[in-house]
Amino acid sequence: MSTISDRLTHAQQEFNAVISTISFNEDAVDSAPTLRGLPIAFKDIVDIAGVPTTCGTNVDTGPVPTKNATVAQRLMDAGAIPVAKANLQEFSYGILGDASAYGRVINPRDPQVCGGGSSSGSAALVACEALDLTVGSDSAGSVRVPAASQGVLGFKPTTGTIPLDGVFPFAPSFDCIGFFASSIELIEQALLATVDEAPTPAKTVSTIDVSALQTKGERFAGLLSALQDSTFAAVERLDYSQLESTIATTAKLYAPMRLKEAYDVHQPYLDQRDKYQDVILERVLGGQDITQADYDAAAQQVEQLRTEALALFDASPIILAPTLGAGPIKWDDITAENTADSAASLRRWTEPFNVLGWPAITVPLRTTETTGVGDAVQVIGKPGQDLTVLRVAREIQALL
C-alpha cells in the first residue's frame, strides 16, 4: 500500500497538483474516516506556520508566516495533519486554472479537459486519490467549478461561516473557504471543526426544486429519473424568470465589486508587475478605474438583492442547478477569442451564490461505469442551512 508521501509525489509528477510538501509523521496517519490522523492539503493561499505561502505567484507577498490560518489551526486541533500546499491559479484570479507561476494543473480524470480554477490543485489531489480532504477557496465558483471539472465533491459554505484570517484574499466580500473530499461525511466534519458558530441542524426536506435542471433537456434526465425513487418530491414551482433575472443581476453587481476589491488587495504589490503572469496583471489593473461611488452603489444593491432573492426558496428549501453552464470544457476548445465566454460558461451557475452568500455543494454524477469527468449537479440552500444542503447532497449521491 502506497504511503501518503508516495501519493503526493505521484500527484506532483503526474498532475502538477502540489507546490510544496510539509514535513509530517507517516505513522501518525489514521485511515479511519475522521479528521483525527487525516492528511490534508491546503490551497497555497492558506498560511501554515513555517511554510511559504506562494499564492501561485513569483510576486513577493511577505515573509514566511509564523502562525497558522484559523481554518488550518482548527482542522489541526481536530487532529488533521497538514501534508502539502496545493497548486492554484495565480492569486486565485481566474476560473479556468490556466495561469500559475508553477504551471497548469493537469486534470486527473481527463488531461484534455480544463480542470477549472482557481483551486485546481486541491481538486486534483482528491480526484487522483492522493488525499481524501483538501481545502480550497471559492469566490465565484473556485471550489465548485474545479470539483465539477474533475469529478469530485466540492462545498462552499454560507458566506462568513468560516473565518478567513491567514488566507490571502481575492475579493473579500465574496471569499469563502471551501472543501473538496471523497465523502460528504468528511466535508461535514471539516465544516463543524472550522465554523465560528455551530450551524443550524439539518432539516428534513420533502421537496427539491428541479426547474433549472429541466431547462437543460436530456442532460440531467438520469438524475431526474433517479429522484422519482427518492424521499424527495421533485417540483418545478420556482419562478424561473426570477432566477434568471437574479443571475443576471448578480453578474452585473459582482463585476465592479470584484474588480475594485482585487485591485485594492494588489496595490501594495504593483511595484513587482514584472513578476505577475501577464493575464493576471491585466485583470488586476482592470479594477483601477472603478470609482468608490460605483463600488458603494453595487454593494448596496447586493445587500438588497440578498433579501429579495430569498423568495426563490418560497416553493422549496433546496434548489438543484447545474454546476457548469454547458458541462466540462476541453482545453482545445478554449481559444484566445472565446476565453472570456468559456470562463463565463463555467461560472454562470456558481458565481451568483457567492454574491448571494448561499451554501452550495457540487455533487459529481458519477457511477462505477463513468469514464472521464462526467457531469455534476449543484445543491443549493438558504444561508445558514449548510447541514441541510449536505444532508440532501448525501441522499442524492446515494441514488447514483
The pLDDT score that the predictor gives to residue 372 is: 85
The conformation of residue 91, written as its DSSP 8-state character, comes to G
Residues 170 and 266 in one domain: no
pLDDT value, residue 1: 67
Same domain, 228 and 134: no
Residues 187 and 218 in one domain: no
CA distances from 89 to 19, 73, 84, 204, 371 (A): 12, 24, 16, 38, 26
User: How far is it, in rounded angstroms, from Cα 60 to Cα 276?
Assistant: 10
- Write the pLDDT tens digit of every residue in 281-318: 999 999 999 999 999 999 999 999 999 999 999 989 99
Q: Determine the average pLDDT of the residues in 35-55.
A: 98
Instruction: Flag whether 78 is in a domain.
Output: yes
| pLDDT of residue 191 exceeding 80 | yes
Share of the chain above pLDDT 90, in %: 96
One-character DSSP codes across 200-248: PPPPP--EEE-HHHHTTGGGGHHHHHHHTTSSSEEE--S-HHHHHHHHH
Active-site choice (92, 118, 119, 120): 118
**What pLDDT was estimated at residue 306?**
98
| pLDDT computed for residue 369 by the predictor | 75
Q: Are strands 39-43 and 133-138 parallel, antiparallel or unpaired?
A: parallel
Of 50, 58, 65, residue with least CA distance to 99: 58
With respect to residue 31, please indicate whether it lies within any of the assigned structural domains. yes
Residue 203 bears catalytic tag: no
Please tell me whether residues 281 and 386 are part of one structural domain. yes
**Residue 205 neighbours by CB distance under 10 Å:** 19
| pLDDT value of position 57 | 98
> Mean pLDDT of all residues in the chain?
97
* Segment (H or E) for 122: helix 120-127
Res 41 pLDDT > 70: yes
If we measure between CA atoms, which residue out of 45, 46, 121 comes closest to residue 86?
A: 121
Confidence (pLDDT) at 179: 99
Is the same domain home to 234 and 173? no
Which pLDDT belongs to residue 366? 86
252 counts as catalytic: no
Identify the domain containing residue 358 by its residue range. 207-398
CA distance 14 to 106: 8
For 210-242, how does the pLDDT look when each residue is reduced to its tens digit (9 = 90+)? 999 999 999 999 999 999 989 999 999 999 999
Q: Does some domain include residue 201?
A: no
Reading the block at residue 270, the C-alpha cell is 504593483
Residues 48 and 105 grouped into a single domain:
yes
DSSP category for residue 113? B
Q: Are 129 and 224 within one domain?
A: no
Looking at residue 371, its pLDDT comes to: 80
Instruction: Report the distance separating Cα 56 and Cα 385, nearest Å.
Output: 33
Judge whether 199 lies within some domain: no
CATH code for the domain in which residue 297 is found = 3.90.1300.10
200 assigned to some structural domain: no
Q: What percent of the chain has pLDDT over 70?
A: 100
Quick: pLDDT tens for 128-145: 999 999 999 999 999 999
Q: Is 300 found in the same domain as 157?
A: no
Strands 360-364, 376-381: pairing is antiparallel
User: Do 225 and 121 fall within a single domain?
Assistant: no
Residue 370 has pLDDT above 90, yes or no: no
Contacts (Cβ under 8 Å, ≥6 apart) of 157: 176, 177, 178, 191, 195, 359, 386
- Total number of domains in the chain: 2
Q: Which of 43, 85, 156, 382 is catalytic?
A: 43
DSSP 36-78: TT-EEEEETTB-BTTB---TTSSS---SPPSS--HHHHHHHHT
Distance CA 395, CA 172 (A): 33
Residue where a domain stops, chosen among 161, 194, 227: 194
What is the value of pTM for the model shown?
Answer: 0.97
| Residue 114, domain member (yes or no) | yes
* Span 18-33, average pLDDT: 95
Residue-wise pLDDT tens digits, 312-350: 999 899 999 999 999 999 999 999 999 999 999 999 999
Catalytic residue selected from 92, 142, 211, 342: 142
165 and 256 belong to one structural domain? no
> Is 128 within a domain?
yes
Domain-terminating residue out of 194, 226, 254? 194
Whether 118 sits among the annotated catalytic residues: the reply is yes
Whether residues 185 and 252 share a domain: the answer is: no
Do 152 and 234 lie in one domain? The reply is no
Given 145, 166, 194, the domain boundary residue is 194
166 beta partners? none
The answer to whether position 223 is within a domain reads yes
pLDDT score recorded for residue 277: 98
